[in-house]
Amino acid sequence: MSMPAQRRLLMDLNSMLDKTVIVRTVDGRMFEGVLTGFDHPSLNISLTNARVGDEAYHKVILRGDVISEIMTKEEPLFDIEEFAGILEKYFPRQVRIVRDAGVILVADRISVSERGVEGAGPIAERIKRILDEYLERRKRELSGKKVS
């Protein structure tokens, strides 16, 4: 696997952290729980509040070599590409996505990710307001999809 592809895979796994996932093992067992951690390069994972059929477990750690698939049904709340596009309207030619880090840089000094805004000053405050509005809109959109 090429280096950019490995980074994308790790970013995908990182985006699943703290979300409910379904893990299929090579022997066909299905685990459902909240992904709380993984390591690289072996891709061992940890799940909390996991279920396997009728059995419930507080914590499960699965070795990477027994994992066949990791899936999530949840659509992410924060879409880095979409939000960068929104910021570009407010801050033309000052927005850059750093995919390896999973962040958006605005004016090379304010960092934005799904965890929030890092930086200070009036621009950072404005970005925080834009992010809050964006996340509220996304929550409404996603809750509307669940109802349908």
| pLDDT of 35 above 50 | yes
Please give the pLDDT value at position 28. 94
108 and 67 in one domain?
Answer: no
Q: Which of 5-19, 48-62, 89-103, 113-127 is predicted with the least confidence, judged by mean pLDDT?
A: 5-19
d(CA 107, CA 117): 13
Helix (H, G, I), strand (E, B) or coil at 7: helix
**By residue range, what is the domain housing residue 91?**
80-147
Percent of the chain exceeding pLDDT 90 equals 65
CATH number (domain holding residue 61)? 2.30.30.100
Say what the pLDDT of residue 148 is: 43
| pTM strictly above 0.95 | no
| 79 touches 97 (CB < 8 A) | no
Angle subtended by helix axes 80-90 and 122-147, to nearest 10 = 140
Which is it for strands 20-25 and 110-113: parallel, antiparallel or unpaired? unpaired
Q: pLDDT of 63-108, one tens digit each?
A: 999 999 999 987 778 888 999 999 999 999 999 998 777 799 999 9
- Asked if 46 and 91 sit in the same domain, the reply is no
* Cα separation, 7 vs 3, whole angstroms: 6
92 in the same domain as 46: no
